[in-house]
Amino acid sequence: MSLWTAEAIAAATGGAASAGFAVSGVAFDSREVGAGDLFVALSGEATDGHRFLDQAYAQGAAGALVSQAEERSHVRVADTFAALEDLGRAARARTAARIVGITGSVGKTSAKEALYACLERGWRGAVHRSVKSYNNHTGVPLSLARMPAEVRAGVFEMGMNHPGELAHLTTLVRPHVALITAIAPAHTEFFPDESAIADAKGEIFQGLEPGGVAIVPFDSPHRDRLIAAARPHAERIVTFGLDKAADVHALEMMRVAAGTYVTARLGGRELSFTLSQPGLHWVSNALGVLAAVDAVGGDLGLAGLALADLGGLAGRGARFTVAAGEGQATVIDESYNANPASMRATLAVLAQEPGRHLAVLGEMRELGEGSAGYHAGLAEPVRAAKVETAILVGEAMRPLAEALAAQVDIVHVPDASTALDTLRATIAPGDVVLVKGSNGVGLSRLVAALRGG
């Protein structure tokens, strides 16, 4: 079945179709175009998607959304970005699916993937989600435009780094359920304080559909602020967390070989399950996910099974082994991104691992004037994790290097390539290596090189 016909695209966007055609997917990155896709030729400051039309058609695009003259099958509009948003709105309008929007300073992609797995377990083939971290002003409408009309549920991640961004994105997604995972220092370069970050995240509730449910982290110091933001828009507010006063909370947690065994209470019900991911931050995420499953009418028992089977996500906790001398070492891949809260959480996971602990830690970006303090503040978690050697990457890591001097073996390097060389010269059999840093540091390339041998 087609996702969109040329006629439907033209009706949604106010454009003019060159001919009849149908598409089975939507992409705005020409490198991701597959057979039968609609290629959206976005025009930006850095490049113009119209330059890649030949490549898109060569890779099998069935049509394109363009704002310039084009001879091949297309829908022509005045503005391709506005048209992409319109296509996303049309996709949202035509479905009867239950929609969940997820945001937070940390954990939103992991929570999105976990919620998708939980719902997919019960509604096979009938759950849609945003892929990768397509959570910004272009990623969200693209993810909506990709949603088939017949799905039973849609799960959408929404991110921001400035006030007002979520207020707009949530009007596109129009969630029935809005979940905030956690509030933490992130993008502080653009906010005066953490309360302002909480306010910006709370904008997600403004798009709730009538009868909507707001899911709020109980353990957050900004809980009451988030509840106040949700109250005008939500029919029901559900809290989750490790504290027993939360609506959804953990009664019991026990570390097991497969992860964490959790007994959770949801109102008057209890659910016991094994969470395949270690760490208290993952327990908290799972409780929020279960609250969302319950809110959309999913099967909690099947959700528990899905959480047990949930594998580590690339860049967000995936584990693999590499050759080290005459044996092997374990790598924990947290290379996708970092802020002070997620650094502390993953260092706490490392602390529980057997073996010698190494850490490749990349600088945390977009922290503004407080950057030096945030980096130096990681000294205690690094020590608590019993890190024997810390390879610190980037100039912003200098305050941490100074704070750890004479306490931990420190190697401060300028880039990921040098960090890789240092790690290869240091790693030994039985080691456990945590790799984490802001995405721009490029530690994902270090991880890829390790995986490739």
State yes or no: 105 annotated in a binding site. yes
The answer to whether 239 is annotated as binding is no
Beta bridge mates, 413: 393
Distance (Å, whole) CA 115 – CA 238: 16
Pairing of strands 357-362, 259-266: unpaired
Sign of the alpha-carbon dihedral angle for 132, 134, 135, 141: negative
The number of helices, as runs of H, and strands, as runs of E, in the chain is: 16, 22
Answer left, alpha or beta for residue 201, where phi above 0 means left and psi between -120 and 50 means alpha: alpha
Task: Report the Cα 117 to chain-centroid distance in Å.
Answer: 14
Q: Are residues 99 and 153 in contact, defined by beta-carbon separation less than 8 angstroms?
A: yes
Structure tokens at 290: 């279960």
279 is in an annotated binding site: no
Closest by Cα among 137, 140, 119 to 128: 119
- Nearest-angstrom CA–CA distance, 9 and 249: 45
CA distance 194 to 172: 26
- Please list the residues that pair with 74 across neighbouring strands: 64
Residue 107 annotated in ligand binding: yes
Q: Was 377 annotated as part of a binding site?
A: no
Instruction: Count Cβ atoms below 10 Å from residue 13 Cβ, excluding itself.
Output: 24
Question: Minimal CA–CA distance to 370: which of 179, 197, 140, 241?
Answer: 197
* Angle in degrees, CA 170, 172, 175, rounded to 5: 55
> For 411, phi and psi rounded to 5 degrees?
-125, 115
104 is in an annotated binding site: yes
Which position has the token pair 């802001």? 438
* 453 marked as binding residue: no
Distances (CA, A) of 18 to 25, 82, 199, 313: 19, 19, 45, 41
Binding site residue list for ATP: 104-110
Binding-site residues, in ranges, read 104-110
